[in-house]
Structure formats: structure tokens, C-alpha cells
Structure 1
Amino acid sequence: MTRRPKLSARPYVWKSKDGSGTPGVGLFQGGAVKAHLTPNEARTLADRIHDLTDAAGNPEPALETLPHPESE
């Protein structure tokens, strides 16, 4: 059986050579940074992954319907 490659995500500040930092999300594999995404890039990627998941026939389960606060 083969092992699927996996990534983990966590907050990460990318340090430039000039010492400045760009906050965002780091994607790690085996402890090594594989990608750094700005907050906007991370949201765009998350949206794309969600769309691809839905298109593959794996819709998100419906959320439980809660009573309207005024109906209590």
C-alpha cells in the first residue's frame, strides 16, 4: 500500500531577506515549508478546495436547523 502525501497548515510569517515579514498560512510536509499563502490566497485556495469537493459528489452535510429566536 502506498502512503498518500499530506500537508498540514498553521499560521506562519514568511521572513524576507530584508527582515520584513509577511503573515499568512504555511503549508508543511514533514516539518518543511512547502508553501506560504497570504490570508487572501489561503481563502481563495480553501474556496477552490471546497468547490472541488462538492463537484466530486461529496457535499457538506446539512447543518441542524435551529428554531428562530423570536419563535421561542
Structure 2
Amino acid sequence: VLLMPSSYESWGRAGCEALASGIPVVAHPTPGLCESLGEAGVYVDRNDLDGYEAVLRKLLEDPAEYRL
């Protein structure tokens, strides 16, 4: 799992590379990341720690939950 809680990303190259490798990406919904990751990204506000925890638990407990 790649976490990208950046408050600014013009283009998420690391996120795109992770997705291309089948690695789930959990990111703050900046305009650049929303454009580059599209529907394949999982978005959580960077200040929502409980949200990040919930998404991580879900992905780690059931990897089949995330499929590209």
C-alpha cells in the first residue's frame, strides 16, 4: 500500500508507478492526484487519521477488496 497524504501534488508519478505495479494507493484528493490516479486511487482527506486507518485495515484484511 502506498500512502500519499500530500497537500499538493501536481502529478502523482509515484502513485502511477504503484498502480502500474498492482499496489493500492491511498491519497489525499488533490486535483493532480485525482487526475493521475483516477478511479483506481482510494481517497481520504489528509487530516482524517481514522479514515486512513479504516482504509488500511480494509485493504490489509481483505486484499481482494482492491483490484485494478
Q: Same fold (TM over 0.5)?
A: no
Q: Which of 1 and 2 has higher RCO (CA within 8 Å, sep 6+)?
A: 2
The structure number with the bigger radius of gyration is 1
Structure number having the greater strand percentage:
1
Q: Which bin holds the TM-score, normalised by the shorter protein?
A: 0.3 to 0.5
Could you tell me the TM-score, scaled by structure 1's length?
A: 0.32
Could you tell me the TM-score, scaled by structure 2's length?
A: 0.33
